[in-house]
């Protein structure tokens, strides 16, 4: 039950990130939004970790894995994804994101030599099919340039590699500390690019900007990622299945906040995603024996 609740809360929080980002992008440049979010989140997490929880600093051999995870999952992935969305439609972007669990499972099987059972593979493909059906109305208006598809694929690959690399490390630091350092390194990598592309006329630092930032910092960058790291630890081969629920929550938020209709495709897709989750998380009888 603890893993189920963690997975549901993770998907609900992570899925809200797209809505908060859309709000922020109306008043700020993408890199300014991402970098500001990362530095504030890192400051909060490292302050709590180092000053309140008295967590130690990373040891010499821990710095490189933290930097690699920060660059792949916190710097390259969100930046490439945001710029890709300028060249592809929302449907293509959502479908690309939904491919992450499949990529992660393949990398787990090849890189970490983790056995992926038939029910997990079935859950992955059913879940991906469910997302595809849910976004079918968006796919009818799909448009994508080769450059946009390349950027989108690159972002998904970096996120998946970062996830699998994280799973390959025997971490001894607390999750809050790991998250804080990763986010900090992601922000540091993006800072020069943010400064170079910054145009004051394209940014309005108002209430809408700070609401977006605070939501992206606390529920998404801190709480959701803490839950994600927990899931990766307790169920490494099944954790990625929860990513399929993120677009579904995104559709729900869009319906509640922007009056976008819930279609029959959304309902059918949601049912398939739930079936995929159930099947993927069902204990394999061979393993149980």
pLDDT in tens, 152-161: 899 999 999 9
159 touches 100 (CB < 8 A): yes
- Give the C-alpha distances (Å, rounded to integers) separating 193 from 34, 35, 188: 11, 10, 10
pLDDT band for 285, please (50, 70, 90 cuts): very low
Label residue 283 by pLDDT band (50, 70, 90): low
pLDDT over 80 (residue 289): no
pLDDT of residue 281: 74
pLDDT score recorded for residue 177: 96
At 257 the pLDDT is 74
β-strand partners of 88? 144
User: Residue 288: pLDDT above 80?
Assistant: no
How big, in percent rounded to 5, are the helix, strand and coil portions of the chain?
Answer: 80, 0, 20
Element (H, E) at 249: helix 245-258
The share of the chain scoring above pLDDT 90, in percent, equals 49
Give me the mean pLDDT over the 115-137 stretch: 86
The dihedral sign for the CA sequence 159, 160, 163, 164: negative
Q: Tell me 200's DSSP state.
A: G
Q: What is the mean pLDDT of residues 4-31?
A: 89
Cα-to-chain-centroid distance, residue 105: 15
Q: Count Cβ neighbours within 10 Å for each residue of 106-142 and write b for 16 or more, e otherwise.
A: ebbbeeeeeeebebbbebbebbbbbbbbbbbebbeee
* Separation CA 103–CA 119 (nearest Å): 16
* pTM metric for this prediction: 0.85
Query: What is the spatial distance between Cα 57 and Cα 76, in angstroms, rounded to a whole number?
Result: 25
Give the model's confidence band at 219: pLDDT under 50 very low, under 70 low, under 90 confident, else very high: very high
Range with the poorest average pLDDT among 69-78, 80-89, 145-154, 199-208: 80-89
Residues 274-283: what's their mean pLDDT?
Answer: 81
Name the token pair of 286.
Answer: 């061979």
Owner of token pair 């950027």: 151
What the block records as the tokens of 114 is 């983790």
Give the Cα separation of 199 and 283 in Å (integer): 53
The more confident residue out of 266 and 191 is: 191
Higher-pLDDT residue of 153, 237: 153
Using N-to-C axis directions, what is the helix angle for 30-47 and 207-215, rounded to 10°?
50
Q: What is the pLDDT of residues 43-52, one digit of tens each?
A: 999 999 999 9
pLDDT at 123 over 70: yes
């Amino acid at each position: 039950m603890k893993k189920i609740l963690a997975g549901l809360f993770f998907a609900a929080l992570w899925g809200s990130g797209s809505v908060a980002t859309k709000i922020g992008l109306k008043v700020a440049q993408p890199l300014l939004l991402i970098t500001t979010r990362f530095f504030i989140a890192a400051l909060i997490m490292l302050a709590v970790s180092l000053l309140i929880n008295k967590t130690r600093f990373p040891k010499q051999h821990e710095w490189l894995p933290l930097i690699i995870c920060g660059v792949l999952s916190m710097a390259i992935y969100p930046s490439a994804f945001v710029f890709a969305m300028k060249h592809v439609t929302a449907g293509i972007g959502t479908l690309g994101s939904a491919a992450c669990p499949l990529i992660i499972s393949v990398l787990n099987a090849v890189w970490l030599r983790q056995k992926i059972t038939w029910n997990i593979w079935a859950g992955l493909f059913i879940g991906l099919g469910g997302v595809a059906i849910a976004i079918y109305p968006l796919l009818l208006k799909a448009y994508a340039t080769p450059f946009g598809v390349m950027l989108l694929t690159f972002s998904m690959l970096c996120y998946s590699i970062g996830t699998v690399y994280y799973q390959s490390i025997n971490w001894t630091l607390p999750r809050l500390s790991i998250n804080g350092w990763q986010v900090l390194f992601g922000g540091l990598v993006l800072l020069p690019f943010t400064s170079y592309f910054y145009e004051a006329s394209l940014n309005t630092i108002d209430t809408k900007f700070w609401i977006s930032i605070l939501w992206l910092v606390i529920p998404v960058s801190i709480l959701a990622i803490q839950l994600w790291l927990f899931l990766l630890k307790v169920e490494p081969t099944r954790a990625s299945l929860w990513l399929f629920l993120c677009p579904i929550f995104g559709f729900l938020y869009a319906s509640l906040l922007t009056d976008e209709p819930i279609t029959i495709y959304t309902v059918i897709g949601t049912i398939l995603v739930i079936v995929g989750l159930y099947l993927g998380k069902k204990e394999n009888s061979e393993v149980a024996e």
